[in-house]
Structure 1
Amino acid sequence: MSTDYKFEGWVGIDASSADGKMEWQQFEPKPWEETDVDIKITHCGICGSDLHTLRSGWGPTEYPCCVGHEIIGTVVRVGSEVKDIQLGDRVGVGAQGESCLGRKGDCEDCATSNEPYCKRHFTGTYNGQFMNGGKSYGGYALYNRSPAHFVVKIPDSLSSAAAAPMLCGGVTVYSPLKHYGAGPGKAVGIIGVGGLGHFGVLFAKALGADKVVGISRKADKREDVLKMGADMYIATGEDEDWLEKNRRSLDLIICTVSSSKMPISDYVSLLKRDGTFIQVGVPEDGSLAIPAFILVMNRVKLGGSLIGSPEVIREMLELAAEKKVQPWIEERPMKEANKAILDMNEGIARYRYVLVNEN
């Protein structure tokens, strides 16, 4: 069945696309299945993963590649096997487009709403391949086609611009915060208060943590982070004796920094006995060292976390609506996507860009 709309968007042709050289092109979405929906895109957040992928930072990218996995829009086509989504619904798509969903037999991960960890199959919303052989293309575009299982409805009280960056950036920190018990009675640290980290501050407060501490190298974000609701801010590059003053003061740390050069032993030393350090940033420049001495001496845990399942995304959006979580965003026209990714890479965003299709 043909459609009266075209799938067009900003496409990376090679690694130079990360230098603001994406090209507007038509592309072929995955072959239609009756479990799919087509979405007319209104908003798409810019995520750090987009830049990593455009420049082949996490491994070779399958060019051509249209990035963007914080997609919001209106449903314009619905497969006959889709039960809970209708034409005209306002919906979103996060960073995952497909898992095995039991198609190859029992899958404990998918059965327990842990689709991001499906050991049989994972298709990213872009730069991936679906089980029907089609390629996945993201949201720097006019339209998106995705399996309905990974499409979520957006609560009426959340604006599309606010909801978009929650679909990857927000849930990447919300998921471990919830899973590891960031709530009443807990002191939570967020390392790297940028696009991801500012969501960490917002959701740690929304979950009811007693104490939320923003941690970055420079002091220039201190005022912003305190306005977001943090109880304290540590500038590791400027605050004198920051480690000694704050040693063993936190129950949980979420680290968004994507660099193998960060002082991980110092950061882990901020944990109380039996505390937990969760890494969500993935360095391009190598692996993280294991701070074995600190782990052993303080009986702390070191782990990681990946995005969130559709169920977790829905839960996060409901909490955001209830608690009136408002990310710090700046809307940018879709036509200026190349300039926007350059500004994102330069760290100019305060704290998240959202591309908007003006038509």
Structure 2
Amino acid sequence: METTTVKAYGTEAADAPIHDMEIRRRTLLSTDVEIDILYCGICHSDLHAIKNDWGATSYPVVPGHEIVGRITQVGNEVTRFKVGDLAAIGCIVDSCGHCHQCHQGEEQFCENGWTVVFNSPDKISGGMTYGGFSEKIVAKADYVLKMPENIDLAASAPILCAGITVYSPLKHWKAGPGKKVGIIGIGGLGHMAIKIAKAMGAYVVVFTTSPSKIGDAKALGADEAVLSTDAEQMKVQSGFDMILDTVSARHDVNTYLNALHVDGSLVLVGLPNEPLEIGAFNVVSGRKSFSGSNIGGIAETQEVIDFCAQHNITADIELIKVNEINEAFERLERNDVKYRFVIDIAASKDKN
């Protein structure tokens, strides 16, 4: 297969910094589009990947799965896009397309394995996929999203992962008017969950370990904010229809299970490296559930993009240049960001 050289930013080892490198992208196929990347968000999963925290990283790795840009080429079979359109790519760039889950629009649960935008076996080109820390990307048009012209592109990039990761479970568990929704953690995921759950009409209570974030939670739109390290405050929490757990570190979930209403669910979207322990009586009493959710399919990702545009929801971001990526990862490891880093890829190209 013919390929072209593209400038990217990645690493060859878990203990090596992100740096400039050249990667190969396939030349355009008839069902592909080429996107000139303008912005790419930085997710905690990117940090896990470059550090090989999950033991599955294939080096060299080029992270990035919150990608927005402008289409520069379209294949001759593509009808949904034209050159000049704004477009986006999230986590999924391929799936089998014919299993039950793909037919249901839930490609993230593809029974034959979906292709992640980076560090995933590339079924078309061979080798591994490379993500959005790069100047261009080529992907099947069916896995590319439309971006409205009337939104802040940089601040909308995190919708492609953080946004869909919280929107999908909030929708599935029917967050809305009359529902009491808890959100654990105010980070990249949590701050988007607050905004989206409020836009859905739910009563939103945020749990945080940081006294300094109590005011932040209310400023983001939460109806209440609870300091989860305060036993007296936690003791009176009850009646939640669902609680969305965005924490990616080891923590005690049993207190939150006890705060659920009958038939309520604690839904995990964070990815702790260590197992979480659940007391049997905490789920048996009240027919409660401990559940999980993993991003969303292509149609649902388009849905959350449109929902956020309609409700004027964007992420709170810190826009950085490519030479600040390593510092951003160091700060992300310390949770020193409010609430998402986004790389200005376009600014780096202007200087090439």
Same fold (TM over 0.5): yes
Contact 2:5 2:25 in 1 (8 A): no
**SS where residue 134 of structure 2 aligns?**
coil
> Is 1:70 aligned to residue 66 of structure 2?
yes
Letter in 1 for 2:235: E
- Name the Cα RMSD after superposition: 1.6
Alpha-carbon distance between aligned partners in 1 of 2:332 and 2:221, rounded to the nearest angstrom: 24
Contact 1:70 1:168 in 2 (8 A): yes
Letter in 2 for 1:176: P
> Is 1:142 aligned to residue 141 of structure 2?
no
Letter in 2 for 1:250: F
Which residue pairs with 1:316 in the alignment? 304
1:29, distance to aligned residue in structure 2 (A): 2.2
Alpha-carbon distance between aligned partners in 1 of 2:94 and 2:187, rounded to the nearest angstrom: 28
**SS where residue 173 of structure 1 aligns?**
helix
- Once the two structures are overlaid, the 10-residue window that deviates more, 48-57 or 213-222, is 213-222
1:288, distance to aligned residue in structure 2 (A): 1.9
Which residue pairs with 1:119 in the alignment? 111
**SS where residue 27 of structure 1 aligns?**
strand
Match of 1:97 among 93, 101, 105: 93
Contact 2:252 2:277 in 1 (8 A): no
What residue ranges of structure 2 are gaps of 5+ in the alignment? none
Alpha-carbon distance between aligned partners in 2 of 1:178 and 1:55, rounded to the nearest angstrom: 32
Alpha-carbon distance between aligned partners in 1 of 2:337 and 2:87, rounded to the nearest angstrom: 25
Letter in 1 for 2:256: Y
1:326, distance to aligned residue in structure 2 (A): 2.9
> Is 1:296 aligned to residue 284 of structure 2?
yes
Contact 1:43 1:72 in 2 (8 A): yes
Letter in 1 for 2:179: K
Alpha-carbon distance between aligned partners in 2 of 1:325 and 1:223, rounded to the nearest angstrom: 19
Contact 2:252 2:276 in 1 (8 A): no
1:6-34 superposed Cα distances (whole Å, 9 cap, x missing partner): 411111111114xxx11210011246432
Which residue pairs with 1:244 in the alignment? 235
**SS where residue 24 of structure 2 aligns?**
coil
1:130-153 superposed Cα distances (whole Å, 9 cap, x missing partner): 222242101111111222111101
Contact 1:170 1:200 in 2 (8 A): yes
1:253, distance to aligned residue in structure 2 (A): 0.7
- Once the two structures are overlaid, the 10-residue window that deviates more, 62-71 or 75-84, is 75-84
> Is 1:153 aligned to residue 149 of structure 2?
no
Q: TM-score, normalised by structure 2?
A: 0.95
Contact 1:30 1:135 in 2 (8 A): no
Number of aligned residue pairs: give it. 346
Letter in 2 for 1:226: K
What residue ranges of structure 1 are gaps of 5+ in the alignment? none
Contact 2:28 2:34 in 1 (8 A): no
1:117, distance to aligned residue in structure 2 (A): 0.4
Contact 1:68 1:126 in 2 (8 A): yes
**SS where residue 112 of structure 2 aligns?**
coil
Which residue pairs with 1:356 in the alignment? 344
1:262, distance to aligned residue in structure 2 (A): 0.7
| 1:328-343 pair list within 5 angstroms | 328-343=316-331
Contact 1:29 1:134 in 2 (8 A): no
> Is 1:110 aligned to residue 102 of structure 2?
yes
**SS where residue 318 of structure 2 aligns?**
strand
Alpha-carbon distance between aligned partners in 2 of 1:90 and 1:206, rounded to the nearest angstrom: 25
Which residue pairs with 2:41 in the alignment? 45
